[in-house]
DNA sequence: CTCCCTGCAAATCCTTTGCATACAG
DNA sequence: CTGTATGCAAAGGATTTGCAGGGAG
């Protein structure tokens, strides 16, 4: 795809979603179209800075929230409570390593012919009478390499 | 139960869990023994202050984390990311109202003869090869009264 | 007597806000 | 033109940390 064709694609995408065009917004969308998903506002800011895009950190925060409201990206909470953003909006769960922060995408688990998250939501609504959001399932654990490090430390003691 | 009997019970509880006795620690344990579960560090600090117990906020933070490590209370994340503490350590899920913050305790849902959280954990471990924590399932939604308020606002427009 | 606990204030982290200016539609 | 987006710096809330003094075991 040629450069200006992609520009037009991104412009169109913004227009379709009722968003005004701006250079920072384009830079962020372009980033997500090409690179890492699962990034924090600060890391995105730094990554864009490295590419020579000097938008301000508050603009990054603003646009991440704008893009999330438009349904173009998804927000979820990292192990230390920071907001992370994912450009893959198809349903999946997140598993994050408590030690190194690495993220693993878990496929949806279906039980009794229904995605687990939906099952949970219905259980909660039936039990409580509340109106319940479908939960994002964010798990934490230790990735294989951090487990190895932990085990080695345990042996040393 | 007489006053000094309860004091001894609390002292014993601390000793059993390898905790040193201190007045602030006693005040916090006594609070959880008698009153609200589901409280934040700040609210606990204010509640104790009202009772005439003037411990510092940092002491409250410290002791909540100490008590959690000892397994006497459980920490979970509120809708705005704040840490909440629950003195009910038996297994259950939390459902919190996004609007008023009210918390509902959901009983554990069992599917295929297994608690949902365990099912999730095993799914995650099998899929990823990581070592996964059993997830605390914290849902959010709107309680009945906040739903009513929302509906009324929607009609007004 | 030693180590853990406390209180206070300052520090830190992540995120939001206020405001004047710039730019898209 | 009108309204939204930007950059900067300052504010904000929640939690942690450094340090000197106090109390438990």
The 3-state DSSP class for residue B139 equals strand
Domains of chain B: 3-85 (1.10.10.10), 90-156 (3.30.1490.190)
> CB contacts < 8 Å between A and B, how many?
105
In this model, does residue B156 exceed pLDDT 80? no
Give tens-digit pLDDT for A124-135: 999 999 999 999
Q: Which residue in the set B104, B120, B142 is minimally distant from A139, CB to CB?
A: B120
DSSP H helical ranges for chain B: 3-16, 23-34, 41-50, 57-69, 116-128, 144-156
What is the model's pLDDT at position B154? 66
Q: Is the CB of residue B131 less than 8 Å from the CB of residue A142?
A: yes
Q: From the C1' of C3, which residue's alpha carbon is nearest?
A: B20
In this model, does residue B7 exceed pLDDT 70? no
- Please work out, in degrees rounded to the nearest 5, the angle formed at the alpha carbon of residue B144 by the alpha carbons of B142 and B149: 80
B56-73 mean pLDDT: 97
In this model, does residue B157 exceed pLDDT 80? no
What is the model's pLDDT at position A154? 65
| pLDDT bracket for residue B1 (50, 70, 90) | very low
Question: Which B residues, 42 through 101, put their C-beta within 8 Å of a C-beta on chain A?
Answer: 77, 81, 93, 95, 97-98
Give tens-digit pLDDT for B77-100: 999 999 999 999 999 999 999 999
Give tens-digit pLDDT for A107-157: 999 998 999 999 999 999 999 999 999 999 999 999 999 998 877 766 654
Rounded to two decimals, what is the model's pTM?
0.91
B112 touches chain A (CB under 8 A): yes
Q: How far apart are CA A52 and CA A50, in angstroms?
A: 5
Q: How far apart are CA A53 and CA A73, in angstroms?
A: 20
What is the model's pLDDT at position B68? 97
Using CA atoms, how far residue B8 sits from A115, A124, B26, B36, B87, in Å, is 49, 40, 10, 22, 19
What is the model's pLDDT at position B2? 46
Under 8 Å CB-to-CB from B154, ≥6 apart: which residues? none
Percent with pLDDT over 90 in chain A: 83
């Amino acid at each position: 795809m040629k450069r200006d064709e992609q520009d037009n694609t991104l412009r169109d995408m913004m227009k379709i979603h009722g968003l005004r065009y701006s250079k920072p917004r384009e830079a962020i969308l372009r980033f997500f179209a090409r690179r890492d998903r699962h990034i924090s506002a600060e890391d995105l800011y730094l990554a864009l800075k490295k590419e020579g895009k000097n938008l301000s950190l508050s603009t990054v925060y603003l646009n991440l929230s704008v893009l999330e409201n438009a349904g173009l990206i998804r927000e979820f909470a990292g192990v230390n409570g920071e907001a992370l953003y994912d450009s893959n909006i198809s349903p999946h769960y997140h598993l994050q390593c408590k030690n190194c922060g690495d993220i693993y995408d878990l496929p949806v688990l279906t039980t009794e012919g229904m995605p687990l998250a939906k099952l949970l939501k219905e259980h909660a609504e039936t039990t409580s009478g509340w109106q319940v959001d479908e939960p994002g399932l964010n798990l934490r654990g230790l990735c294989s390499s951090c487990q190895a490090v932990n085990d080695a430390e345990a042996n040393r003691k």
